[in-house]
Structure 1
Amino acid sequence: MTSSPSASSSLASSKVARIGLISDTHNLVRPEALRHLEGCDAIVHAGDICEPAVLDALREIAPVTAVRGNNDTGAWAAALPTHATLTVRDVTILVVHDMADVGKNVHRDGVRVVVTGHSHQPRIDERDGVLYVNPGSAGPRRFRLPISAGLLLIDGAQVHATLHTLIA
């Protein structure tokens, strides 16, 4: 799903856009995650949603761009893309569930930020001018990894990413 034209135009009216990042919810919508996403202009879900009710809950906060993860099955999930792009201000964001599916054309395609999930490991890394963000998992705990989500702050062509531990 990509953000609607009305969502894109509303993002252009405020100075700094707040984009909430969430992944690997696995059908669990934590109140801590909803609080983290409050006030966001848009939300990116990087897959492993598992039930459409998760996206419905997120849409009550802001427009959602979501991709299908390896655990997303059924007719509702088949309608989700495996890759999505959105542009906020002057920043193009590529969303894909698994980093292995990113591809090699991110530089040529003008992508500034890549948002992934799958590993449940929260991480921010910048390589060759591309910011790679995995918000971790906001769903059931896996191993000893934190329950986390992320945030992008976009002002024109400038972008800043942060990670937030929701439950240690």
Structure 2
Amino acid sequence: MKLLVVSDNHGWDSILTDLKRRYEHKVDAMIHCGDSELKADNPAVEGYTIVRGNCDMEDQFPNDVLESVEDCRVFVTHGHRYDVKMTLLNLSYKAKEHSADFVFFGHSHTAGVEQQDGVIYLNPGSISLPRGRREKTYAIVEVDKHQTAVRFFDEKHHEVENMRTTFSR
């Protein structure tokens, strides 16, 4: 399984179009963790599983999505409703409630990934306004029967190599 995860483009629709053109037929799902600031009928968001962020006015985007991709359960949210800038505890309760293998979220604009109790928590960072690093980032998650690999890329699609992380399954 291979997933594209992006968040917090804040109106920059051409980057979503570029990501779609690059990955649409190479990944099993394209996931957007909110704050697109785009309308649901904008062609740039077509094909993405997308949630509503605190800066999104589009009420057609759901607050949370539980997606099954191959044999994995993926919980997607923006994160502002779960206090992700303070703790992952609230998200961990949702992960347990939904038996999620992955939790993807944005909001803080800070890229990072960690595993707790077998669940992988991923914030792809912001593709437009990063915090904590200079790179504008998105993530590619690749899962096979032995491991999960998470790689971060900048807006020019260069890997941010010191952020590569692998988890055993």
TM-score of the superposed pair, with normalisation by structure 1: 0.73
Q: Give yes or no for contact 2:110–2:130 (8 Å, CA) kept in 1.
A: no
Q: 3-state DSSP class of the match of 1:106?
A: helix
In structure 2, the gaps of 5 or more residues are 84-89, 161-169
Q: 1:156 to 1:21 in 2, by over 3 A?
A: same
Q: 1:145 to 1:36 in 2, by over 3 A?
A: farther
**What is residue 7 of structure 2 aligned with on the other side?**
23
**What is residue 9 of structure 1 aligned with on the other side?**
none
Deviation at residue 79 of structure 1 after TM alignment: 1.4
**What is residue 143 of structure 2 aligned with on the other side?**
154
Alignment of 1:36-55 (within 5 A): 37-38=23-24, 39-52=26-39
- What is the CA–CA distance in structure 2 between the aligned matches of 1:121 and 1:109, rounded to whole Å? 25
Structural RMSD (CA): 2.7
Q: Which amino acid aligns with 1:96?
A: T
Alignment of 1:1-168 (within 5 A): 17-28=1-12, 29-30=14-15, 33-34=19-20, 37-38=23-24, 39-52=26-39, 56-59=43-46, 63-73=47-57, 77-98=58-79, 99-100=82-83, 102=91, 104-141=93-130, 144-155=133-144, 159-166=148-155
Deviation at residue 47 of structure 1 after TM alignment: 0.3
Q: Structure 1 stretch 146-155 or stretch 133-142: which is displaced more?
A: 133-142
Q: Which amino acid aligns with 1:86?
A: E
- What is the CA–CA distance in structure 1 between the aligned matches of 2:54 and 2:116, rounded to whole Å? 26
Q: 1:47 to 1:123 in 2, by over 3 A?
A: same
Deviation at residue 110 of structure 1 after TM alignment: 1.2
- What is the CA–CA distance in structure 2 between the aligned matches of 1:132 and 1:55, rounded to whole Å? 28
TM-score of the superposed pair, with normalisation by structure 2: 0.73
Q: Which amino acid aligns with 1:25?
A: N
- What is the CA–CA distance in structure 2 between the aligned matches of 1:157 and 1:93, rounded to whole Å? 18
Q: 3-state DSSP class of the match of 1:137?
A: coil
- What is the CA–CA distance in structure 1 between the aligned matches of 2:119 and 2:148, rounded to whole Å? 10
Q: How many residues were matched structurally?
A: 146
- Report which structure shows greater RCO (CA 8 Å, sep ≥6): 1
Q: State the identity as a percent.
A: 27
Q: 1:142 to 1:158 in 2, by over 3 A?
A: closer
Q: Give yes or no for contact 1:139–1:147 (8 Å, CA) kept in 2.
A: yes
